[in-house]
Amino acid sequence: MKIILKNYKLLAVFLMVISFTSCSDDDDNGTTAPTTVVDIALENNLTSLAAALTATDLVTTLQGSGPFTVFAPSNEAFADLLTATGLDLDNLSTAEEDLVRNILLNHVIIGETINSTTLANAGSGYVNTGATGPNGANLSLYFKTTSGVMINGSSTVTNADNIASNGIVHIVDEVIGLPTIATFATTNPALDTLVAALAYADSGTPTVPYITTVSDATAGPFTVFAPTNDAFSDLLAELNVSALSDLGTDTVDAVLLYHIVNANVQSSQLPNGTVTTLGGEITADNTSFSLTDANGRVINIIVSLVDIQAINGVVHVIDKVVLTPQ
């Protein structure tokens, strides 16, 4: 259903904010209260966001000292979300309230004020949000600025750099859903060949239905050691073949299994010794931050691309493909 904020609902939202701020609008010395990220949302008529924050008891949180970087969905974006999910902000169950709160926190970077210039200068990258996934780990967010600022491959910043006293607000045109491993694999072009390999394995008789599994928010959690495009290119040269299709789907399936662990293992939890993957055992060295496969080949974990946390697992990018025993 679409979000329909009747007059009394709008009034309730504004009264909520007024009641929160009026007591501090003027202190004993006549000074004016700071303009927080919640105030900025209301100044930009983001009434649906305000209603969602009220329904999930997040107003006080975002009125705190921060600093916060908030990617604030438009009213239309919330309407689309509620239509797709059937959620009713006025009648949330405990589980639904927890879900909506986590979705909202997935739009908030806590402890940093990141403006559009900083994002543009970075070009692309990952940051952690206030939302949590397996084992309470903070979820990641992938941004790319090839043409404007795009979040997780679908949500675009339409109005940037609204400055608040406790952070900054960027208005976006789509609610940023809780990301899956597939979200991060498909949005980062450096992992295009991995996605192609998963699809190719699925075209045969896969041990695991790869694309379906990594796209399923309720699956896992898994740890995925994700080879870069260059890693796959190096593999083809190493095996003296020209394409993945030269290897056969069964072979690619067996190789992919060595990149998946049936647990959410963040980099700080990487053991110094045996790691049991879905395919078999490999060895990890948490000092050199590397893996060694059954053939003695050393694979480096790219330290700037670890702990990419999704709702169904975590991704660590590696510079070489792990091979099955030869």
Report pLDDT digits (tens) over 295-318: 999 999 999 999 999 999 999 999
Number of H helices, E strands in the chain: 12, 15
Going by DSSP bridges, is the β-strand pair 222-227/313-318 parallel, antiparallel, or unpaired?
parallel
Shared-domain flag, residues 42 and 154? yes
Q: Are residues 21 and 168 in the same domain?
A: yes
Tokens 């239905």 map to which residue?
209
CATH of the domain at 13: 2.30.180.10
Mark whether 298 and 204 lie in a shared domain. yes
**Residue 115 is encoded by which pair of tokens?**
């403006």
Beta bridge partners of 138: 132
| pLDDT 10s digits, 187-245 | 999 999 999 999 999 999 999 999 999 999 999 999 999 999 999 999 999 999 999 99
Mean pLDDT, the chain, integer: 90
> Is the residue at 121 inside a domain?
yes
Domain boundary among 163, 178, 193: 178
Where among 120, 153, 178 does a domain terminate? Answer: 178
Please indicate, yes or no, whether residues 74 and 115 belong to a single structural domain of this protein: yes
Q: What is the DSSP pairing of strand 138-144 with strand 124-132?
A: antiparallel
Q: Is residue 33 very low, low, confident or very high in pLDDT (cuts 50, 70, 90)?
A: low
Q: What is the pLDDT of residues 245-278, one digit of tens each?
A: 999 999 999 999 999 999 999 999 999 999 999 9
* Helix ranges, 209-310 (H): 210-215, 229-239, 249-257
Total domains present in the chain: 2
In angstroms, the CA 225 to CA 158 distance is: 34
Whole-number Å distance between alpha carbons of 79 and 206: 38
Q: Which residues pair with 167 in a beta bridge?
A: 68, 164
* Together in a domain, 130 and 204: no
119/241 same-domain check = no
At 294, the pLDDT band (50, 70, 90 cuts) reads very high
- Is pLDDT of 288 > 80? yes
Closest CA to 116 of 72, 162, 75: 162
φ and ψ at residue 54, rounded to 5 degrees: -65, -45
Does the pLDDT of residue 75 top 60, yes or no? yes
Residues 28 and 170 in one domain: yes
Give the integer Cα–Cα distance in Å for 111 and 271.
Answer: 29
Helix axes of 249-257 and 192-202: crossing angle, nearest 10 degrees: 120
Residue 147 pLDDT: 85
For 156, the domain range is 7-178
- CB 299 within 8 Å of CB 290: yes
Tally the residues of the chain: 326
Measured between alpha carbons, how far is 122 from 137 in angstroms, rounded to an integer? 24
Determine, yes or no, domain membership for 2. no
Distance CA 67, CA 69 (A): 7
Q: What local confidence, expressed as pLDDT, does residue 13 receive?
A: 44
Mean pLDDT of 120-130: 96
pLDDT interval class at 39 (50, 70, 90): very high
Beta bridge partners of 261: 223
Q: Which of 194, 227, 234, 210 minimizes the C-alpha distance to 317?
A: 227
DSSP helix/strand/coil, 42 = helix
pLDDT at 87: 87
Distance CA 130, CA 102 (A): 8
CA 142: distance to chain centroid? 6
Judgement on whether residues 113 and 224 belong to the same structural domain of the protein: no
Instruction: Return the SS3 of 130.
Output: strand
Residues 145 and 119 sit within 8 Å (Cβ to Cβ): yes
Among 90-99, 175-184, 219-228, 289-298, the range scoring the smallest mean pLDDT is 90-99
Cα–Cα distance measured from residue 250 to residue 261, given in angstroms and rounded to the nearest whole number: 19
- Pairing type for strands 290-292 and 150-151 reads unpaired
